[in-house]
Structure 1
């Protein structure tokens, strides 16, 4: 499945993403945390690469696969694990 750019960084928490700047891949990793306003996201440490933050202001973009949820008409940017459903 092709990668798509996501502007909603909080929805990417737990997802595997590709960080790009000026169409070049900077790093690949799993989103550890993100600001609610999508201004900053953090990729978790991975082997020799430490935890790192990326900001939208200098032009970083987050790209990921679009995965289908349980309903055919609903999609979300996510990795293998989905967020728990809300109670109620």
Structure 2
């Protein structure tokens, strides 16, 4: 049986409050929804652009978060594109 991988850092152990209990006045404004499109391929293009994949040759991007730098792999994006109604 594989052991569950321990997460190195989380909000709690760096002293950040749980968002579920954070007063609204201390939250960042909600981000606007991204426009919808008619196909999963078009949605992937929009997602890639928003994340910084501005060139077809870019396979990963690094995003700085309050916790650490996060590396996003282009190959792992398709699973987060909503495909309801897409062809």
| Higher normalized strand content (fraction of residues) | 1
TM over 0.5: no
TM-score by length of 2: 0.29
Q: Which of the two has higher C-alpha Rg?
A: 2
TM-score by length of 1: 0.28
The structure showing larger relative contact order (alpha-carbon pairs under 8 Å, at least 6 residues apart) is 1
